[in-house]
Amino acid sequence: MITIYSVQITVFRLIIKMINFTVNCNLLIVIFIYINHKIYWLIETKYSMLCFITIILSGKL
């Protein structure tokens, strides 16, 4: 009876470890995508600002 209980506990621990691992991986992927998106957004806004400024400058010139 005790051995079955211990086996169940070890299996449960393994499952928890697996879940934690997958959650961590997913979190890492999400963070990575989020950071990439932020960088892309910064680049986009900078380029659009540059375009905007050049349009204004060319309009003044």
CA dihedral 12, 16, 22, 25 (to 10 degrees): -150
pTM summary value: 0.43
Could you list the residue range(s) of the whole structural domain that residue 24 is in?
A: 1-60
| Total domains in the fold of the chain | 1
Instruction: Return the ∠ at Cα 55 (arms to 50 and 61), rounded to 5°.
Output: 120
pLDDT tens, position by position, 5-47: 788 888 888 888 888 888 887 888 888 888 888 888 877 888 8
CA distance 42 to 3: 58
DSSP secondary-structure letter at 34?
Answer: H
